[in-house]
Every structure is written in structure tokens, then in C-alpha cells.
Chains A and B, each alone.
Chain A
Amino acid sequence: MAESVIGKRIPKVDSREKVTGQAMYAGDYRMPGMYYGKVVRCWEYASAKVKKLDFTEALKMPGVVKILGPDDVTKKPYNTTVMKLLVPEIFGEVFGEIADLNIFNKIVKHQGDAICGVIARTEEAAERAADKIKVTYEPLPVLMTCEESKAEGAKKNGYLFTPLKPGNKAFDLPASFFPNQRYGWNDKDGKTAMELFDKCDYVIEDTYYVPKQKQCQMENHSYVAHYDERGRLNIWTSTQMAKPVQVLIAELFELPLTRVRLVQTIVGGGFGVRLGMIGEPHCCAMAMAVPGHPVRMEFLREEDWVASETRYPGHIWFKCGFKKDGSPIALDSMYMARKGGYYTHGSGPPFCFAAFIHGMYKWQAMGCQTEGYFTNEVPTGAYRGYGNPQLAFSGEQMITRMCKELGLDELEWRKKWHKGIGDETWLKGVTFASDGLNDCLDVAAKESGWYEKKKKYAKQTGVKRRGLGVSVMQHTSGAFPMLLEHSVCTAKLNEDCTVELMQQISDLGTGGHTAITQMAAETLGFPMEDIHLRSGDSDMCGFDIGAHASRTVYCAGPATIEACESVKKQLLERAAQLLEANVKDLQMKDKIISVKGNPQKSISAIKIAKEGVYNYIDAATGKTIGIPGQIQGYSSFFAKHCSPPFGACISEVEVDTETGEIKVLKLVNAHDIGKAIHPPSVEGQLEGGAQQGLGFVLTEEYAYDKMGRVLNNDFTDYKMLGPSDMPDAKIILIESAPDPIGPMGAKSCGESALMGPIGSVANAIFDAIGIQFKEAPITPEKVLKAIKEQGLQK
């Protein structure tokens, strides 16, 4: 074996092109004959009916090619998500999955809804023509809360977002699947959580609010679509889910898959926002209207805010019962989520919220009910964490409050009562195979000085108060067995004994391409530079789900490994034949295959590879020289498990009690990675996730006016933490619990990073001033108001 590349801090495979500016993002493509497509959106209203659409003046503008209205494109309704490909049809029906979106719309359900599209020779011409389009609207009721939506939906002839969802209820857990419409379990005597509260010594009940957060990926959504002379629809897009989106496009435009080519360009950040379609239908519809001309479409930043999905905001109710010693007895809960204008990921994040409660602690019984109501907001969808950040803010604060009131150490409680090996994970019937949480907690406690500082900060006076908070989490590695997790890899051995991997790996910047290349190199024993991953083009790659649910290394990695093992096996088999030896007696090192213990008896793998392709007949003997046939390895891999990783995070904050300002001084996040294939990438996920988690808990939220229009659709007023706002962040990778199922022991890390910072900062603020904040983000305004009203509680 060559020296192992697993766990090595090597440069990422795509870093040189990115650091020199050569990396091409979808918005960077320039093609001959290219037109520009602009979607005209409704900016004035969040809820309205299009009464009249007048293109007369706009069509007279120079450079305009065509303008498409709702009747000029397919009226087939669609859903932006790929959910229907990931579950059996019956499952989708039971969960109430619907398609309620059109490419161009006659009813505006949120600010930014698409009305029509302008195709012009330049972006400027499209922009000027768009200004001349006259749209006459009739305003409809603006419903911005679940209560308003529910009340309107209950009225006779009240406004309904879709006839498919009576009462404007977008989603709840189907009773046919979930007793009491709750996800959870009963105690050993069959009692529900609700029935156990009487037996508890201590019951705590409260409601929390979680904000509408935006992914804020740096690359705006951009596309080029080209309906070419062969009648193929080509689309270049930065979607996270290349293959499934190809299928959705084919279905929407009723084309066979051979006539839809989707090229995933370099993705400038995803975080869930590109989990499905965004502008693809619009760009493709415009391209199909001008065959032969590529159409480029690039979102404006302000468009991203109103026309791509966000995190689910809403209210979370918890009731938890404990014994005096802290033993967890019963948990009942309800997540009332604001859906936004369309169904999209209607079932996913609310269900997953319940699921992540399911996977965390050893209650005797637990139940969680979730509901979503349509509102006239930007639709909600996938955002890194998918329900789990909401739990981190609410559930972890509940636990800490209980510990404080019962006089228990919150860190020790978590060590004692979290689920572990053999217990059920977030999904019923699937049990944990590995558990590194206690190690995470121990290491984080040590690194943060938990016990010493807790003591030190117990009695503080003065204006500035410090506090420490802890938070734990479990997440998932891929979504099996709830959802399909299928990845295909073809490993082609070139005639010079280098390898092309053809596999649709979505690397959103996460390091997925690097880790996959490392796993291939490791399996083959070849150097990294002899492996090249070709990804992105549906003409070349087999099926793959794409990037979601922290799956790439865990679900796609095994396909890579299997395909490379097959290449290696074929090489060894040919060597065995040529050396007249037994396969099991052979070894390969530095591309030399030899008989163990007899290094003289050897053959070069390069020779085998070359002779497989350039296979000539020996003129003297009339026989082939070497063994014919180019070697290819192949795998069509289905995940076997979801190996949830654990994590523990401790934060230290300082609260200015005169101004309510919060400073996060230090953050220690220990993550149960199992095995880090590329440690800098894993650290990078956790470091970057901290910035998003801290944003969730401290600064980030949509602001709306009374008309339902977004007030902060730019970075001026939607505030994320900048480089000098970030605390000293210490990331610790725990590898003491390699996963028996994960490839090379690996579990996931992509989404895990947000939860710890969210829960631990909320808890640290609670620790510092004794007041728990139930609404995120926790702003200085809320802190000061609470101090004013309640006084310092510590």
C-alpha cells in the first residue's frame, strides 16, 4: 500500500481553480448567440390577483426577443422538491405531497412570485423592457401568521392558497400513520407522554419561537438553458441535486431523459437552498421559446430573498416531565410552522423536527405533533439542519432550565440521558451503531474550562456578566431508510493506469470532491493525482441523489469504494492469470502487483492497463499480448443505515446588562465524526456552520412590513456575523467512535455544525443573567427589555 491519504491535511482538489478565479460558476458562462432571460416578479404585493398583463410597450423596446406570460408556458403545476422521487408514491399520498406552483402565476402568493419572463439580447434590454410591462393587480388578504391563515381558511369562502389543502393547513402528521398525530413512542405499559405527566415530580411547559433565516449562499442562483438543434434541452445550473432535478425538468416539459442534459456547474454555496428547483423551470421555459439560442438567467441578490426558499419559522410548544433526580419521563410537543406561499418541502422539516427529538433523549414516552400553515411569505424549504436547529434552540433550553431548577449539572445530565448504541435513532426501528457523545462532552468541558468557569461565574456583580452554556445534538448521515439513498459510480481505468471516476458528486464547497477522490486513492492504493473525479454532466454520470441530508461521504463514498475495489479486483485477477498465481496471494504496491513473499514474481499494473486497451496479436504466436478489455469498476450503491453523528458544544458569552449586547467569547464544538476523511473539510463545515448557527440565535431574521413585503432583502439590513464578530471557535474532531457501517468509519458533518452554537449560546445567555429567551434571534433589544421587566435573575 502507498501511504494512506485518509485523514491527511492535503489541499482540496478544486482549490487552485478557485483561488485563481478560473472556476466557472453558472453566471460566468458566455455562449454564442446567447440571450438573457429575466423573470418579472411581483414586488408590490404579497397576495394579489393579476387582473391584467400588458406587454404592448415592453415589446416595442429595443433588443426584446419575446415575452412569455402564464399562458405561454406549460401550465403543469409542479413542486420544487425532489421528494416524490425519494419515497414510494403511496407514501407521498399519505403525507399529502402536492404540486401547487406554476412557472408564471396569475395569483401572487408571496412577494417575488413570478409573473412573466422577458427574453432579450442583453440583460440591460431585458431589464428595461421589464420596466415597461404593465401588470394590474387586485389585492387579496395578506396572511402572515398561522392563526390568520387558519382563521381565513375556516371562513366560508375565505381565501385558500390551494383547493388541495382545506383550511390552509399545508401539513400535519397523518393520523393513519401516527397515532394521535404524534411521532414518538409510548412507555412500556403503552401509555402516551400525555398520560405520564401526572407521575412526574416536575413538569415544565413553554413556547418558543424560531426565526425565518436565509441561507445567504454567496453565489446567486444562475442558469443557462439551451434548447438545441437536436431537440435536447441543456441546462447549466448550480443545483444541489443534479440528477433528480434533471428528472423533474424532464417531467415538467414532458421530455424523455435522453433529451434533457443537466450540467451541474461549480456550486457557490448551497446550505439547502438549492435542494430542488428554483429558477430552472423559468430558464428552461424561456430557452424552449427561442430554440437554438442559449438563455442566461442570473438572480439579483434582492431576488434571492423573495424567490428562493428559507428556513421554517414558527412556534414550538414543549411540555416535559421529570423525576426529582432528573430522570426524563415524558415529552409532549408541538411545532406550528409558517409554510410560506407554496407547499414545496411541506412535510420534511416539520417531520424532521419531531424526528430529531425522537433521536436525542431516553424519555419513557415522547410525542411530537407538527403542523404547517400557508402564509404570504417567501416559501420555506430546506436549510442546513432541516428542523434540527429549531430543536436546538427550544429543546436544549428546556433541558437546561429543568437542570437549573432541579439543581442538576446540565452537562452531566446530558451524558447520562442521551440515547446511544442500541437505542432508536431519529427514525423508528433504526438503532445507533456508534456513539461518541460522552467523549465530545468531556473534551468540550475540558477545553472550555466548564467546571471551573461555572463556579467562577456563579457569583458575579458588575455591568458585564459572563455565562457558559452547553448543547448536544444528533443528526443523520443521509436519509435512509426514510428516503431513497442511491449513488452510482463508474471507475474507468485509463490505459496509463490512472482512473477517471464518473460520479455525480455535488460539492457545495464542502470538500466532497476531495474526500471522494481520497477514498478512491485509498481503495486503489494509487496516488491522489492519478484519480480524477468527473462530475456534473448528466450525459456521463449515473444516478445520484445529490447533496442533501449530509450524505455525500456516507452514501456516495461507498459507491466510489465499491467501484474502485472492482477495478483493483480485476487488475489482480488479470495479474493472477498472467503470473500463474492465486489472487489471494497477490499484493499491489506502487502499481506493481507481486506475489506475497516473492517480489521477483511481479507484473506492472500499468502494463495490464495498457494491454487491456491496446491489445495486439503477437505475429509469431497468433495469440493476444496480455489480456484484452479496458477495465471499469461499477457500483450502484444503496445506503444501509444513517449512522447519526453526535456533537457537543460549549459557548461562553458576556452580556452587557446596561445595553443588552451579547458577545460570544468562545465556542468549543466537539463533533463525533467517526473518521474524518479530510479533516480540514470537516473542520471547515463546523467552523462555517457556527457562523450560521450564531446568526440564527443572535442576528438573522426576515423582517416584513404590513403588506408582507420583505424589509431587509439585502446584506445592509439582514445581518450576518462578519469576520470580527466571530468568536474564538475551537473545533474538535472526535474519532473515538468510528462507525461500523460508515465508509472507513465516517459519519456526517455537513449540517451538524449549527445546532451546538444555537443551543449553547442561548443557554450561556441564560446562565449569564438568569433569564431564558424564548424567541430567536436573541437581540440586545429583547435582552434589555427583559432585564428591565424582570431584573437580573442572577
Chain B
Amino acid sequence: MASSRILPEFELLIPQSIKEAVDLLGKLKNKASVMAGGTDVVISCTKGFGSPNVISLAEIPALDYVEYDSKSGLRIGAMATLQQVADNADVQKRYPALWKSAAINGTPQTRNMGTVVGNIMRASPSGDCICAILAIGGKVVLRGSKGKREVSIDDFYIKYRETACKSDELAVEIKIPAPAAGSCNAFARMTRTTLDLSKVNVAVRLDMSGKTVKEARVAIGAVAPTTIRLKKVEALLKGKQITDDVLQKIVETVPTEIKPIDDVRSTAEYRRDVAGIMVKRIILEALGK
């Protein structure tokens, strides 16, 4: 039986470089879990879902960066905490969706420990940063024995709790393009109390040309095995002005694109009932309405 005070025994590996970490992953394959801040790995251990090997990234130098450049966009290193992202003025100004998904994530303590990349890698269907980044768009940078590759966030989530990251690869960075002029984004979630996991979360990116939507990305979480994009809703938005009619159509369309379940946080019925409203509201919020 698991204990919330005594962790199961495991081997702890503390590589000092990315290369060393990648080598370890190559050796241990899926018998190891990667730990950044520990907010997921350690809690999983207390619930009896431990791994025989834990690879801690704590001592790999210079992975805790959050850097913005108007050309290359935003880069978030694997050890950058949620709080660093929440404290970053560029993130707050240019990526309000991501900013909010980090700033409301967990608690001040877990934000000081947990990382954005960790949130991405946990691949929880209700992950808040996942939802924001899926809407904004971005790439996960993976390092493996065969070198580096980048996977679009759109292709990253395969099925429930499974990503495109192979067992011998390490996610070292998230890259998010610089927002184009006229682009806006926003994130919102619904919880039982302030401190909670999302029962539904939504995020949008709208690339506007005047009052017309050029391009739209709409993401929603906790209503399917992975966070998903609402392609029909995006199609409804593309090339349109945001009118009440469009919004009403969106409210009606959202439930047809999701497959929520009942759990201890909410019901499938409720999730279906509010998902459309949440999408409508987040579109208006993104547009500053």
C-alpha cells in the first residue's frame, strides 16, 4: 500500500548535463521517470505509481530560462518553473493565455517547484498549460541519443497520457512563435474551488484582420482523453466577424466535438453543457469584450 508520508524506494539519478540525462534515458528506457520540480513524480509515488528509477533534472545547469525575442518568440527551458513564467512580463503581455495557465496553476508553492515543461510532459487531459499552448501553437524540443528534434504541439499528444516523446528522449524546451500583429489569445478554466484541477479548460488564439478572424485555434481540456483542438469551431470562426449568430453556432457546435466523462470533479453532462459557453466567453475575452 502506498503512503503519503513514506515513498517507495527507487534509484535516484542526478545527471549533470543534458547528454548524461539522455544517455541514462537511453539505458533505462521506460523504467525511469523524469523529474523536474517533483510535483507530479513524487505525488505519483505517494499514490503507488512509482517508477524504479527517477532521473532528476535539478542539477543540469542553465535549463531554467524563460526568454522572449520578437523574432524567434518564446523559449521555456525544462527547469523553468510555473512561477518564473507567471512572473515574466513578456509572457503576460504577449501570451496572456499561457500566462494565466501558469499563474493559476496549483498553488504558490507548487508553482515554485513545478515546471511548464513538466506540465506539458505529464500529458494530463486537464493540464492547463497544455490547453494554453495548444491554442497558441508551439513546438516541444526533444533531445535523444540520435540528436534533437522538434514536435509541433498539434502532433504531440497521441492518446490518454501518451505523447510523441519517446522513452529515450528528454523534453528540454518549449518554443512558442512570436505573436503576429492582430493576434490575441486567452485562457480560462472552471474548477470546484480556486485550488483545484480543471473540470474544463479552454483557450483560444485569434489572428484578427480588423474585425475579421483570419485564423483561429481553439483548444479545450478535460473533455476527451487528451486536450483537443475544436476544428469545427475553428472553421466556423475562420474568415468571419464575431457576431452573436456565430457565437451561438459555436455554443451549439462545441458539444459535438467533445467526449467528456463522469468523474469525481464533474459530470459528462455538465461538461457538455458548459463547454460551449466557456468557448464563447473566452473568444469574447480574447477580443477584449
Contact with B along A297-327 (1 / 0, CB 8 A): 0101110000000000000000000000000
Asked if A781 meets B270 with Cβ closer than 8 Å, knowing A124-B6, A300-B5, the reply is yes
CA distance A712 to B274 in the complex (A): 24
CB under 8 Å from chain B, chain A span 235-263: none
- A538 at the A/B interface (Cβ < 8 Å)? no
- A703 at the A/B interface (Cβ < 8 Å)? yes
Contact with B along A265-290 (1 / 0, CB 8 A): 00000000000000000000000000
- B264 at the A/B interface (Cβ < 8 Å)? yes
CB under 8 Å from chain B, chain A span 714-745: 714, 716-717, 719-722, 724-725
Q: Which of these, B4, B190, B194, B197, contacts A722 with CB under 8 Å?
A: B194
Q: Which of these, A660, A714, A722, contacts B195 with CB under 8 Å?
A: A722
Asked if A722 meets B270 with Cβ closer than 8 Å, knowing A300-B3, A302-B4, the reply is no
CA distance A41 to B194 in the complex (A): 33
Whether B274 lies near A658 (C-beta < 8 A) is: yes
Interfacial chain A residues near B266, Cβ < 8 Å: 781
Whether A301 lies near B4 (C-beta < 8 A) is: yes
- A131 at the A/B interface (Cβ < 8 Å)? yes
- B193 at the A/B interface (Cβ < 8 Å)? yes
Asked if A127 meets B3 with Cβ closer than 8 Å, knowing A659-B190, A703-B264, the reply is yes
CA distance A658 to B273 in the complex (A): 9
CA distance A127 to B264 in the complex (A): 29
Whether B265 lies near A717 (C-beta < 8 A) is: yes
Whether B270 lies near A784 (C-beta < 8 A) is: yes
Interfacial chain B residues near A711, Cβ < 8 Å: 264
Whether B193 lies near A123 (C-beta < 8 A) is: no
The A interface, classified by DSSP as helix, strand, loop or mixed, is loop
Q: Residue on B with the closest CB to A299?
A: B5
CA distance A298 to B6 in the complex (A): 12
CA distance A658 to B5 in the complex (A): 42
- Shortest C-beta distance, B240 to chain A (Å), equals 22
Whether A725 lies near B269 (C-beta < 8 A) is: no
Q: Which of these, B6, B195, B196, B270, contacts A780 with CB under 8 Å?
A: B270
- A213 at the A/B interface (Cβ < 8 Å)? no
Interfacial chain A residues near B197, Cβ < 8 Å: 716
CB under 8 Å from chain A, chain B span 1-31: 1, 3-6
Whether A719 lies near B274 (C-beta < 8 A) is: no
Whether B1 lies near A722 (C-beta < 8 A) is: no
- A487 at the A/B interface (Cβ < 8 Å)? no
- Shortest C-beta distance, B111 to chain A (Å), equals 15
- Shortest C-beta distance, A677 to chain B (Å), equals 34
Interfacial chain A residues near B190, Cβ < 8 Å: 659, 661, 780
Q: Residue on B with the closest CB to A787?
A: B273
Q: Which of these, B1, B195, B277, contacts A131 with CB under 8 Å?
A: B1
Interfacial chain A residues near B193, Cβ < 8 Å: 699, 719-722, 725
Whether B192 lies near A719 (C-beta < 8 A) is: yes
Q: Which of these, B1, B4, B195, contacts A43 with CB under 8 Å?
A: B1
Q: Residue on B with the closest CB to A781?
A: B270
Interfacial chain B residues near A124, Cβ < 8 Å: 6
CB under 8 Å from chain A, chain B span 172-192: 190, 192
Asked if A659 meets B6 with Cβ closer than 8 Å, knowing A716-B197, A781-B266, the reply is no
CA distance A750 to B193 in the complex (A): 26
CA distance A717 to B194 in the complex (A): 12
7 further contact pairs, Cβ within 8 A, besides A658-B277, A659-B274, A788-B273: A41-B1, A124-B6, A659-B278, A660-B274, A712-B264, A721-B193, A722-B194
Query: Which residues of B approach A to under 8 Å, CB–CB?
Result: 1, 3-6, 190, 192-197, 264-267, 269-270, 273-274, 277-278
Query: Which residues of A approach B to under 8 Å, CB–CB?
Result: 41, 43, 123-124, 127, 130-131, 298, 300-302, 658-661, 699, 703, 711-712, 714, 716-717, 719-722, 724-725, 779-781, 784-785, 788
28 contacts across the A-B interface (CB closer than 8 A): A41-B1, A123-B6, A127-B3, A127-B6, A130-B1, A298-B5, A301-B4, A658-B274, A658-B277, A659-B190, A660-B270, A699-B192, A699-B193, A703-B264, A712-B264, A719-B193, A719-B196, A721-B193, A722-B193, A722-B194, A724-B194, A779-B192, A780-B190, A780-B270, A780-B274, A781-B270, A784-B273, A788-B273
